[in-house]
Structure 1
Amino acid sequence: EEALRLVPVTLRNGSYALGGSQAQTILRIVLPAALPAIITAVFLSVARIAGETAPLLLTAGSNTQWPTSLNDFTPTLPPYIFKYATSVSDNWQRQAWAGAFLLMTMVLLLNFGIRLITGKRVVQASRAD
């Protein structure tokens, strides 16, 4: 919703001045101008979800087996990190650090990738007025 509000009013007015209907303005002007911000928001939420450990432990369970049906819990990285970090084995604790580093790197790369892909288009759209 916020991304749609950030589209300059001058773009909408220009579309209306050229004879575009409200539907045409939304589909051909507003959505393409807001698309980079919408994509960024979606991927940032995916990155945040990937890093949320406590809700994942409580809602998805901490299954370590691959699911055999659609009703089974799915194994995810944060429960493995938690399980390995709380173990007494030094090897498992090192694997927990590696898993945490991997998760953090994935979130960081996802954030940077989205900024690189959509960053220039967001700046161009905001300078249109």
Structure 2
Amino acid sequence: MTEELEPVLTPSKDARQWAMFCHFAAFLGMVFPFGNLLGPLIVWQLKKETDPFVDDQGKEALNFQITVALAMLVCFLLMFVVIGVFLIWIVGVAALVLTIIAGIKANEGKAYRYPFCLRLVK
């Protein structure tokens, strides 16, 4: 008895690259304020119609960066009671690592889901 598996369609090389760019566009936040939100938003808006994989990963990247921005805001407010100083570093390092992982997975053609992510953009 052999079971037939449905073929898994791998996104095209171009779609994988644009999906990766959606995630890595968040690094614009290192260049100018709110670049971590604007970068993924712009890339997603420009390329979401070209491929469903790019649309999915663009939404995922944008949702994660919105979550990170909210977490950073909370950390900033908590700086008044000192704990925010430590938490802001933890959130920053976690965001950096997870963004790199997501970009690599997207380039491999695998849909990545960020942990602890608010999915506000659907």
TM norm. shorter chain > 0.5: no
Q: Shorter-chain-normalised TM-score: which range?
A: 0.3 to 0.5
Higher gyration radius (CA): 1
Q: So what's the TM-score if we normalise by structure 2?
A: 0.41
